[in-house]
Amino acid sequence: MQGRGELKKFIKLPFRLHQGTPWVPPLIYERREFLNRDKNPYFHHADAEYFLAWRDGEPVGRITAQIDRRWDEFQGGSDGQFGFIDAEDDPEVFEALFRTAEAWVQQRGRERLVGPMDFTTNDECGLLIEGYELHPYILEPWHPPYYKERIEALGYGKTMDLLMWNLEMGGLKKGDAFADAIHAVADKVESEHGITVRNMRKKELEAEIARFMEVYNSAWEKNWGFVPITDEEVAFQAKNLKQILDERWAFMAERDGEILGAALTLPDINQVTEKMNGRLLPFGWLRFLLGKGKIDRVRVFALGVKPEYQHTGIAARFYVRHIETAAEVGVSGGEEGWILEVNEPMNRAMEGMGGTIVKRYRLYEKSL
């Protein structure tokens, strides 16, 4: 793929393919920045190529092929990744896209192709295989059902499923508990361990995001597919989150100045952007500003505690703070995740709090 014109077609293709579906259009400006090799720090440790499939002069499919040196370092193996998959329901188009991506990574010595990742597991990732009827929340992909059939027909098999849990908090009042045991543990966090939980300070956002990522990189380091995020990527993401972040939904657990745990919950800004058709102008910004205050759902994007402090009940305190905040700001509930299907402690916790699995994303692999 070459030039700004083809990049625009690459970004705009799903706008045509998914019109009238639950898919939510991304902001075109943000996608252009994210895919810009000179601006996205992902490209400081990775290479990627963007491909379009054409028919009669019009694009009918897209895919990326990637090689991430940090994935090599932390996950091992000899893998390439694919991402940004979108295509018409045509097996020939899917075959052409995947054969091209496979050839690209094979030419660079790779023996397995894994994905979809746009571009990493820290970004949007996984192929939707359950929950097609539901609108995606912020930073969640959406795919039509035929993608699963077409990809599996090309020899790709499951490597891992990612779960999204729905949690309803509208019937709970401030001080109520998901369960007595959770509330009891949460009450002891400060009295027994001297740990306080506070809101993130938006006025020092970059520093707070850096503190959050310290926990993120520690708490998730042993998870399948995890690659620590770099300082440059933190700054890049902080800039994108600045207009979205609500400090009432971001929590830090600390003791003696050390951050021990963090929870980042994001208002589901997709409730606003779905009406903007990807554009900030001429009225997109106005819709964005007016709509932010009406959002009534959230996504618990990440909640973690450094391994050496996971026995202290910080996670339980975070859960209770979410109930209290929901009651204060009038949020009825939201989604938690994604959570790896093999993460039994977190999945048991979600089930114990009355959660239900509403979406399932699948990561695929194929030996080349």
Q: Which one, of 358, 366, 365, 289, lies nearest residue 142 by Cα?
A: 358
| Residue that terminates a domain, selected from 131, 160, 189 | 160
Residue 198 CA: distances (Å) to CA of 80, 195, 249, 315: 40, 10, 10, 13
Residue 367 falls inside a structural domain: no
Residue 343 falls inside a structural domain: yes
Residues in the chain: 368
CA atoms of 303 and 318, how far apart (whole Å): 8
Looking at residue 304, its amino acid is G
**What's the pLDDT score for residue 275?**
80
**Residue 202 predicted with pLDDT over 90:** no
**What's the pLDDT score for residue 257?**
85
**What's the pLDDT score for residue 222?**
81
Q: Which one, of 209, 186, 290, 198, lies nearest residue 248 by Cα?
A: 198
Q: How many CA atoms lie within 13 A of 182 on its CB side?
A: 21
**What's the pLDDT score for residue 288?**
60
Tokens of 134: 């539901």
Catalogue the E-assigned strands of the chain: 46-55, 58-68, 79-87, 112-115, 117-118, 124-125, 127-130, 157-168, 196-199, 250-255, 258-267, 297-305, 333-340, 356-367
**What's the pLDDT score for residue 285?**
53
Q: Tell me, what DSSP letter sits at residue 365?
A: E
Residue 351: which H helix or E strand, with range?
Answer: helix 344-352
| Residue that terminates a domain, selected from 145, 160, 175 | 160
- 250 burial type by CB count under 10 A (0-12 exposed, 13-18 middle, 19+ buried): buried
Which one is predicted more confidently, 104 or 3? Answer: 104
178 lies in the same domain as 278: yes
**Residue 325 predicted with pLDDT over 60:** yes
CA atoms of 256 and 247, how far apart (whole Å): 21
Q: Which one, of 50, 7, 53, lies nearest residue 28 by Cα?
A: 7
Which one is predicted more confidently, 100 or 222? Answer: 100
**What's the pLDDT score for residue 171?**
53
Q: How many helices (H) and strands (E) does the chain have?
A: 12, 14
195 lies in the same domain as 155: no
Q: Which CATH number covers residue 78?
A: 3.40.630.30
**Residue 313 predicted with pLDDT over 80:** yes
Which one is predicted more confidently, 286 or 69? Answer: 69
Residue 193 falls inside a structural domain: yes
Structure confidence at residue 155 as a pLDDT band (50, 70, 90): very high
Average of pLDDT values for 117-137? 95
- Partnered with residue 163 across adjacent β-strands are 339, 360
226 lies in the same domain as 348: yes
Cis peptide before 116 (omega within 30 of 0): yes
Q: Mean pLDDT check: name the lowest of 118-122, 167-171, 340-344.
A: 167-171
**What's the pLDDT score for residue 156?**
98
* pLDDT single digits (tens) 262-309: 998 988 988 888 887 777 655 555 566 555 677 888 998 888 899 888
| Residue that terminates a domain, selected from 123, 143, 160 | 160
**What's the pLDDT score for residue 320?**
85
176 lies in the same domain as 261: yes
Cis peptide before 34 (omega within 30 of 0): no
Left if phi > 0, otherwise alpha if psi is -120 to 50, otherwise beta: which for 296? alpha
For 278, the domain range is 166-362
**Residue 108 predicted with pLDDT over 90:** yes
- Partnered with residue 91 across adjacent β-strands are none
Question: Do residues 53 and 87 lie in contact, with contact meaning Cβ atoms separated by under 8 Å?
Answer: yes
174 lies in the same domain as 235: yes
Q: Which one, of 82, 85, 84, 86, lies nearest residue 19 by Cα?
A: 86
297 lies in the same domain as 312: yes
Q: What angle do CA 256, 267, 145 make, to 5 degrees?
A: 125
- Mean pLDDT score across all residues of the chain: 88
Give Cα 159 to chain centroid, integer Å: 18
238 lies in the same domain as 150: no
**What's the pLDDT score for residue 174?**
47
Structure confidence at residue 175 as a pLDDT band (50, 70, 90): very low
DSSP string, 45-110: SEEEEEEEEEETTEEEEEEEEEEEHHHHHHH-SSEEEEEEEEE-S-HHHHHHHHHHHHHHHHTTT-
Instruction: Give percent above pLDDT 90 in the chain.
Output: 50
Structure confidence at residue 32 as a pLDDT band (50, 70, 90): very high
304 lies in the same domain as 272: yes
**Residue 78 predicted with pLDDT over 90:** yes
The number of folded domains in the chain is 2
Greatest mean pLDDT among 22-26, 307-311, 351-355 lies in 22-26
